Amino acid sequence: MKEKDVYAELSSIRDLMERSSKFISLSGLSGVIAGLYALAGAGLGYLLVHNLKTETGSDGPYAGEPVIFWQLFMIALAVLVFSVVTACWFSVRKAKVKNENVWNPVSRRLLAAIVVPLFTGGLFIIIMMMKGDYTTVAAACLIFYGLALVAGSHYTYNDVKWLGFCEIFLGLLALVLPGYGLILWAIGFGLLHIIYGTILHFKYER
């Protein structure tokens, strides 16, 4: 057998093993679009906060304004819904191109790995908001999302793990700097997603 035939055979075996253990239908473009959703949401949130400070004449933090935080929460929820729908659509399309089933044992294991930190984080955020503690919301979003990415990285691209670590770091930073929560949220869910999605696209999809 020629050397190039050996390499081709090994490559086929490697691809087969990767498909059986990793969910590789994640789309980099969906990450970029999710980042754009987040930046748009952060921009809308900034306008809400800016208008509040203009009306009240206050330059201080807005942590004591429950109405604003519930509005920001609804914006973040809308960003999440649009991002999930977009990610699912791109994943299904990518799987069809590769003639694969997007709902398989690997994708189920991936979902099982991320659902616990995401569900726990969601409940934690709602409880904190109901108790009137709004300063931890942005930090909790970033931290629990980062934990979900690290947990899910075992079943998909290893690059997801590093995105998760970055999200956790930004979340911890948001705890230290609560007045910059919206900015750090925009960086974590907006800018980092665009960078990650771009890397994923050019690394695995070209």
84-91: Cβ within 8 A, 24+ apart:
86/30, 86/33, 86/34, 86/37, 87/26, 87/27, 87/30, 87/31, 87/34, 89/30, 90/27, 90/29, 90/30, 91/25, 91/26, 91/27, 91/30
Residue 136 main-chain phi, psi, to 5 deg:
-100, 0
Q: Domain ranges in the chain? A: 27-204
35 pLDDT exceeds 70? yes
Residue with the larger pLDDT of the pair 3 and 191: 191
> pLDDT category, 22, cuts 50, 70, 90?
low
Helix 28-56 and helix 66-97, axial crossing angle in degrees, nearest 10: 170
Mean pLDDT of the chain: 80
pLDDT digits (tens, 9 = 90+) for 36-88: 999 999 999 888 876 765 655 554 444 446 677 778 888 888 998 999 899 88
Percent of the chain with pLDDT over 70: 79
Other residues' Cβ atoms within 10 Å of the Cβ of residue 94: 19
Question: Quick one: average pLDDT of 124-132?
Answer: 87
Tokens standing for 133?
A: 């503690």
The predicted structure's pLDDT at residue 20: 47
- Average pLDDT of the residues in 130-157: 88
